[in-house]
Amino acid sequence: MSVPTTLTVNGVKRTIEIDDPRVTLLDLLREHLHLTGTKKGCDRGQCGACTVIVDGRRINSCLALAISHDGAEVLTIEGVAQSGAQGGRLHPVQEAFIAHDGLQCGFCTPGQIMSAIAVIQEGEAGDDPERVREAMSGNLCRCGAYQGITEAVLEAQKALGAASVRKVA
């Protein structure tokens, strides 16, 4: 039995025939849509490498059945940078991760960045590094780049705050 499932992924509407209900959202992104930026770490909801934003909320895509998310809007790491004729521009969170060495091997980074974007949107951590660390605790980094990650989240938050002030002005 094949069930058509419609997802809006990074702004593009996609209809996928799901022929096995066991397919997770993570496997759908990686194996069916070839969006391999979202990483499979533990595949059991423990590491956060598979974090994507679904209907405005960050979740572990490894513990979500794709078929159950029919109609959802999904944002992955591939969809966060601005595209443009001159090559576009990275998302301020991506820029901050580079500026603060918020990574070493990079495997957890897409999940870290999706989580960080959500932390800033949630708006609960403020400029308190301890609240940022707690909010990011669902994303493990085995290289131990946590200090740079925390700094990057704080700086990106400032940059995004300034950007939204500019937009309003």
Partner 1 sequence: MKPFDYVRPATVQAAVAAAAEPGAVYLAAGTNLLDLMKGGVSRPNRLVDVSHLPDLDRIEELADGGVRIGALVRNADLARDLSFARRFPAVAEALLSGASAQLRNAATVGGNLLQRTRCAYFYDTASACNKRDPGAGCDARFGDNRQHAVLGWSESCIATHPSDFCVPLVALDAVVEIEGEAGRREIPLENFHRLPGDTPQRESMLEPGEMIVALRLPAAAAQFAAHARYLKIRDRTSYAFAVVSAAAALRIAGGAIAEARLALGGVALKPWRAREAEAILNGARADAALFDRAAQSALAAAKPSGGNGFKIELARRIVKRALTLAAAGTPERMPALPASPFAAVSGEVIHA
Give residues in contact with partner 1 (CB under 8 A).
Answer: 3, 20-22, 24, 43-45, 48, 51, 57-60, 62-65, 67-68, 115, 118-119, 122, 128, 130-131, 133-135, 137-139
- Between CA 58 and CA 78 the distance in angstroms is 15
- Answer yes or no: are the C-beta atoms of 70 and 54 closer than 8 Å: no
Residue (64 or 77) nearer to partner 1, CB:
64
Q: Report the residue number, 45 or 106, with the smaller CB distance to partner 1.
A: 45
Please, which residue, 69 or 100, has the CB nearer to partner 1? Answer: 69
Minimum distance of partner 1 from residue 143's CB (angstroms): 17
Minimum distance, C-beta of residue 84 to partner 1, in the bound complex (Å): 30
Query: Considering beta carbons, is residue 99 or 107 the nearer one to partner 1?
Result: 107
Q: How far is the CB of 2 from partner 1 (least distance, A)?
A: 12
Judge whether 6 and 71 are in contact, CB under 8 Å: yes
- In the DSSP assignment, the letter for residue 63 is G
69 to each of 17, 61, 127, 134, 149, how far by Cα in Å?
A: 13, 10, 34, 28, 30
| CA dihedral of residues 136, 89, 36, 38 (deg, nearest 10) | 10
Q: Which one, 42 or 162, has the nearer CB to partner 1? A: 42
Q: Smallest distance from the beta carbon of 59 to partner 1, in angstroms?
A: 5
Cα-to-chain-centroid distance, residue 162: 22
Q: Tell me how far, at minimum, the Cβ of 71 lies from partner 1, in Å.
A: 9
